């Protein structure tokens, strides 16, 4: 699978086992009492596809992982996924609202502001959030959340917003391994930004950080975790 989001980046083949493991373990761990319900996720993803949006939402497993992180952490920052301070979450990059639905489900008091640059994506998200019955706690802002050149600037802003013991997650920083390809990085702002986030987090004396590579039905990528000291 490839997408506009990964344009110009060398792709690794999608290993069928990653897909099967994601789907099987999801079927075991996300049961009829789990939230958001399977029906809610399926409906949102179907409307996203029917509306012609790219297939770049979080996978259900990854959405649930972020949901669990949000539940565990008082403060969480992820992008293009979210920024959160206590139960107020700011998400940059809504797409069709799938990750927003996961976050909105963490607690009935969680309030989310989500920023989306593409009007069609925002409109699809509005529909999906209403269908998932969470629109009353989500505000969608149409506009440029942050300069897109930058995972780097996302990191800088978020680390300054995050309080001691807060967790910052920067999503999609491994870029199917292109992270280590300096040549590709020179012509691709996403890779260049991901590289800068890595080195910047390492130089930032306020945080302890690590990058976790991940594989799954959405191929191969990873997240940078940084916990603010204190």
Q: Which of 209, 171, 175, 212 is nearest to 190 (CA)?
A: 175
190/151 Cα distance (integer angstroms): 7
Q: Which of 35, 93, 78, 77 is nearest to 60 (CA)?
A: 35
Binders of ligand SAM: how many residues, by CB under 6 A? 20
Q: Is 117 in the site for ligand SAM (CB under 6 A)?
A: yes
What one-character-per-residue DSSP string does 128-195 give? HHHHTT-GGGEEEEES--S-TT-HHHHHHHHHHHPPTT-EEEE-S-SGGGGGG-HHHHHT-HHHHHHH
Contacts of 13 (CB under 8 A, 6+ apart): none
- Draw the binding track, 120-159, toward ligand SAM (x: CB under 6 A; -: no contact): -x----------------------xxx-x-----------
| Shortest separation between residue 85's beta carbon and ligand SAM, angstroms | 18
Which one among 23, 37, 38, 118 touches ligand SAM, defined by CB under 6 A?
118
Nearer CB in complex with ligand SAM: 115/167 = 115
Nearer CB in complex with ligand SAM: 79/225 = 79
Q: Is 170 in the site for ligand SAM (CB under 6 A)?
A: no
Which one among 40, 69, 99, 110 touches ligand SAM, defined by CB under 6 A?
99
Q: Which residues bind ligand SAM (CB under 6 A)?
A: 5, 56-58, 80-81, 92-93, 95, 98-99, 115-118, 121, 144-146, 148
């Amino acid at each position: 699978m490839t997408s506009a989001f990964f344009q110009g980046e060398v792709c690794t083949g999608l290993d069928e086992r990653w897909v099967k493991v994601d789907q099987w373990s999801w079927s075991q761990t996300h049961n009829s009492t789990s939230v958001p319900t399977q029906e809610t996720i399926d409906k949102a993803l179907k409307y996203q596809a029917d509306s012609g949006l790219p297939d770049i939402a979080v996978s259900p497993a990854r959405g649930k992982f972020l949901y669990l992180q949000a539940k565990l952490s008082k403060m969480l920052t992820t992008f293009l996924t979210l920024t959160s301070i206590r139960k107020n979450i700011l998400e940059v990059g809504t797409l069709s609202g799938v990750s927003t639905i996961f976050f909105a489900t963490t607690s009935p008091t969680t309030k989310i502001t989500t920023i989306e640059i593409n009007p069609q994506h925002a409109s699809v998200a509005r529909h999906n959030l209403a269908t998932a019955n969470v629109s009353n706690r989500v505000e969608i802002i149409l506009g440029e959340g942050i300069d897109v050149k930058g995972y780097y600037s996302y990191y800088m802003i978020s680390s300054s917003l995050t309080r001691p013991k807060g967790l910052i997650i920067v999503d999609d920083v491994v870029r199917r391994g292109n992270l280590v390809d300096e040549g590709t990085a020179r012509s691709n702002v996403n890779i260049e930004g991901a590289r800068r986030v890595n080195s910047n987090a390492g130089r930032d004396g306020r945080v302890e950080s690590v990058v976790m590579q991940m594989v799954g039905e959405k191929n191969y990528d990873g997240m940078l975790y940084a916990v603010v000291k204190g």
